[in-house]
Amino acid sequence: MAEENGAQENAAQQNAPQARLSILTQYIRDLSFENIAAQKGVASPESQPEISVKVNVEAAGRAEDRYEVMIKLNVNSSIQGQPVFLIELDYAGLFLIQNVPQEQLHPLMMIECPRLIFPFARRIISDVTRDGGFPSLNLEPIDFLGLYRAEIARRQAAQTSTPAQA
């Protein structure tokens, strides 16, 4: 009897629709590069600048099974508190996501989708800094799982610290 139940479960799993994640397209949604040093008439800096990178991920449904996921990168470079350059990049991908349980959809869009498109955004940042007159800036890989967990923890802390309204 146990063998029959196991065989039925295997048949049910084989007949269940497979989860699907595909990148339909990816694109620059917005890009801004400001060479502040050149605008001020300062030559390319000789010393190593401080680099600050801020990352944000946004996701939204576009159609029944299509979702736009966007990585927002804000890169600031400064030397001794003086700005050198600023990059703002919104890089998006349009994904086809099918047969994914609802409770797994949000983590998939906020972790796996940005992980797939990040290398392309990283290359854009590298090319823009080089083309802007600076050495190529190669961003370190981003731990999107860690960012997701930190955001969930931040939201939970904000909910517990906010008093319930009557």
Beta bridge partners of 76: 52, 86
Beta bridge partners of 137: none
**pTM, 2 dp:** 0.82
Choose the weakest-confidence range: 73-77, 89-93, 99-103, 161-165: 161-165
The Cα 88–Cα 125 span in angstroms is 9
Place of tokens 């099974």: 65
pLDDT tens digit string along 118-155? 999 999 999 999 999 889 999 999 999 999 999 999 98
Q: With a cut of 70, say whether residue 91 has pLDDT above it.
A: yes
The percent helix, strand, coil of the chain (3-state, each to 5) is 40, 35, 25
**What is the average pLDDT score of the chain?**
88
Q: With a cut of 50, say whether residue 50 has pLDDT above it.
A: yes
Mean pLDDT computed over 23-43: 88
Q: With a cut of 60, say whether residue 6 has pLDDT above it.
A: no
Q: Give the pLDDT of residue 54.
A: 97
Q: Give the pLDDT of residue 166.
A: 46
Mean pLDDT computed over 22-32: 97
- Going from the N-terminus, what domains does the chain have, and what CATH number goes with each? 19-161 (3.10.420.10)
Q: With a cut of 90, say whether residue 8 has pLDDT above it.
A: no
